Amino acid sequence: MATAVGYTLPVFAAAAAVAALRCLTEGTCPSAVTLALLNPNRCETFTIAQGACLDPQQALAITYSEPSDPLDITRQTPVWAWVTWADATTQPRIHLEGGVGIGRHQATGEAAIYRYAKLLLTTNLEFYCPSDRAIRVRIILPEGAQLAQRTSNAAFGIVEGLSLLGTGAIAQPLTAPEQLEQYLAELATKAAQSSTLVFCIGENGLQVAQTLHIPRQLCVKTANWLGPMLVAAAEHNIQQLLLLGYHGKLIKLAAGIFHTHHHLADARQEVFTAFCALAGITDSLLQQIWRSPTIEAACQLLAAKAPDQLAPILSQIANRIEERTLAYLRTHCSTSVARSLQVGAVLFRRDRQIVATSQTAQTLLASLRQVK
């Protein structure tokens, strides 16, 4: 497998599962397996680190994740697949389970194994599964629960591990220059059609934009490259720009942090605690807020202990994001461009409910909803 290309976590789960199934059908574990990736429509071969039949009924195989982004937390994490024969009369014939380290939806308890991962696993396993047999497949991420603590999964209701997430096999390096080029190209295309755009921070931002009835042609998905994207928007003569994102991500802009990858800068708790202090929150509650593991948890704590304070504090944060963004543009763009651009910020929580809207954003939202 070429190391220049990285793959999503579902690919390595599928590789381990196919290897474990082949252990059962062939008696020994293959050193490599070939998968049909589906998206893109091609086959690739993946190395299997270890594998063995535990007994005639079950087998285990292990591979290691190789994403393209060197900062990806799943890089070189082990991916295990346990496969056992099942009752051939059961449906589905290939039953998928999330084991240790696979996240689950807090509301339903279901494993966080999404559509592409399920399709990739079942398609490749069906090729090797005898037509008269059925199997149970359990994907295990031994380091998943620990790694999940370094993500915002819990903020979106995924607990106890990582998700098998993605719409394709190729891992998009969200911190790599190539990814920034793709975002800039989309920005240029859409800026040629409209002087008003919405920066949607991640997939959740896009989904919130839909619920707000913001036209898709005005939405530009961004990852962590907010600084360069803001400058590019100004250079393309965008006149109105709405920032739409999860409060635990956009809050970094209130501290002047415009590359928001957590490996490079993370002052979320410090910023939120500072705004709480400015609002007059007492020392004992400030200490609890400071120690909160996430912004979501800090907001819930504040809502419980000082319910009248949460909304004003979040509004102050949204307005501060607006101010710092305009200051950033004045620093990095020509004076005339920076002066003419209006910027607003809308913050939402993990359930995608809006919790704060800056002053300019209120006006921008009203006009955006009228665009057809």
Assess contact for 276 and 302: CB atoms under 8 A: yes
Q: Find the mean pLDDT for residues 92-101.
A: 95
Is the model more confident about 235 or about 151?
235
Assess contact for 349 and 303: CB atoms under 8 A: no
The pLDDT confidence band at residue 70, using thresholds 50, 70 and 90, is low
Assess contact for 51 and 82: CB atoms under 8 A: no
The pLDDT confidence band at residue 1, using thresholds 50, 70 and 90, is very low
Share of the chain above pLDDT 70, in %: 92
pLDDT for residue 264: 62
Q: Find the mean pLDDT for residues 46-71.
A: 92
Alpha carbons 219 and 213: distance in angstroms, whole number: 11
pLDDT for residue 3: 41
Q: Does the pLDDT value for residue 128 go beyond 90?
A: yes
The pLDDT confidence band at residue 321, using thresholds 50, 70 and 90, is very high
Kindly list the structural domains of the chain, giving each domain's residue range(s) and its CATH number in brackets, ordered by start: 9-159 (3.30.2110.10), 177-369 (no CATH)
Q: Find the mean pLDDT for residues 203-215.
A: 89
**Mean pLDDT: which of 14-28, 60-74, 213-227 is highest?**
14-28
Q: Which residues pair with 246 in a beta bridge?
A: 348
If you average pLDDT over every residue of the chain, what do you get? 89
For the record, the structure tokens of 219 come out as 């939405």
Alpha carbons 111 and 140: distance in angstroms, whole number: 11
pLDDT for residue 336: 65
Alpha carbons 9 and 220: distance in angstroms, whole number: 25
Alpha carbons 315 and 308: distance in angstroms, whole number: 12
Instruction: Say how many Å lie between the first and final Cα of the chain, rounded.
Output: 47
Q: Find the mean pLDDT for residues 210-229.
A: 89
For the record, the structure tokens of 199 come out as 């920066």
For the record, the structure tokens of 351 come out as 């359930």
Q: Does the pLDDT value for residue 164 go beyond 50?
A: yes
Q: Does the pLDDT value for residue 259 go beyond 90?
A: no
Alpha carbons 182 and 294: distance in angstroms, whole number: 30
Q: In what order do the strands lie in the sheet with 78-86?
A: 50-55, 58-64, 78-86, 134-140, 94-98
- List all residues 6 or more positions away from 82 whose beta carbon is below 8 Å from its beta carbon: 20, 58, 59, 60, 99, 137, 138, 140
Q: Does the pLDDT value for residue 167 go beyond 60?
A: yes
Alpha-carbon torsion angle 324, 179, 246, 226, nearest 10: 0
